[in-house]
Structure 1
Amino acid sequence: MTAATPAAICAALGLDVTPAQVEALERYLALLQRWNSTYNLTAVRDPAQMLTQHLADCLAVVKPLAARLPAGRVLDVGSGGGLPGVVLAILGWDVTCVDTVGKKAAFIRQAAAELRLPRLQAAHARVEQLKVAPFDVVTSRAFSSLADFVTLSSSLLKPGGCWMAMKGRVPDDEIAALPAGVEVFHVEQLAVPGLDAQRCLVWMRQA
């Protein structure tokens, strides 16, 4: 059965969300659809597919992230239209989204303003040039290979922090190509409501 609303997706994932958070997720999705028609934020155009392929996909990481970081600072690398960064900010984390495309960073700033998310920031920059305090968790959804991801963002990870890479199938070749000093300590399979495809999280840290 396809979960047809943000509220249904949250319920299917067992997330404890407030009515205000559900409303913010709905408004974010509407905002993404509206801006996408002009700014090409995502190749997914159909609203039902956006709900499943984007929103549900990102909501599926909330419980695994909360288990390791109930609160704290998250960096979303190559955030695009704010996935998963905006979703995580709606659900309570302090999030900075970084993207090299100016219109995508501008969209995230607009979302932060319209959805009243004071702890959501957007940076138009290359991640390796970002000059900010390091983060508890650095995540990415569609950024690059694992090796590039950890190499480019290593200076932005706090000592004791971890990387959370959202992937489809388990990327064994990418894991094998990780640089010395980085270890995978957990690969977590995800079930995304309404999505018949493999999804996983690759958790990494400094060895």
Structure 2
Amino acid sequence: MIEPPYRWHWKPPEGEELVARARVSLATGAASRVLGRRWFRDPERRDIQVELAGWPAGPSYRPRSWFDRVVWDGAVAVVTLLLTLVVGLLGGSTGEPEGGLGRSDDPENEEKDFPVLWAAPGTLARTLPWQLDPDRRPRTDVTELVLTDRRLLVIGGLADPREPREDVLWDTDLSTVAAVERRPYSVGGRDFRVVFTDGSWCRLTSLEGEDLVRGLATALGSEVR
């Protein structure tokens, strides 16, 4: 993905204040069974991606098999050992956190399955734009989650400094947002979940989302979970 040397210039209308914004995408599984995968579920855990209005077709994932996991985990262990030996000989550090991902407090949704959209029919999460999915949007496009003092928005754009473009893809009043939750069981602890008042939610990831998460929690009058 292109990382342009500029920031977008979208501004809220007069009378509305910009609080924070960060580049986001739908998260991706990190545990061995769901590595590199994501699903879209209803409360009965059915796959609903074909029901999402206006969404183009995307990949259909299966959980990784026991054999796949053994082969992958073995390869990762060998590479990690070799890297540790080489870096150790050079007197450095691999920079990997101790214990890897650690222990999940929600294994049903982080280790056995990995929904990034959890939404019953008619709920708000089903209206989120497909551009949040990195498997569906063009590699030249980016999406940002924007917080103002009134709304939460998704802005999408073309990451081209010669012809930048950005559009509001989705927005909702802050009164529809119930909570924001960090999900530390993720690569770099970068994932977070936005929960809506109708019980639906989405799981996003961001390299630069801390100010956004804190700002949203403050706007909701709560601490970040």
TM-score between the two structures when normalised by the length of structure 2: 0.21
- 1 or 2, which has the higher helix percentage? 1
Between structure 1 and structure 2, the one with the greater Rg is 2
Larger RCO: 1 or 2 (CA < 8 Å, sep 6+): 2
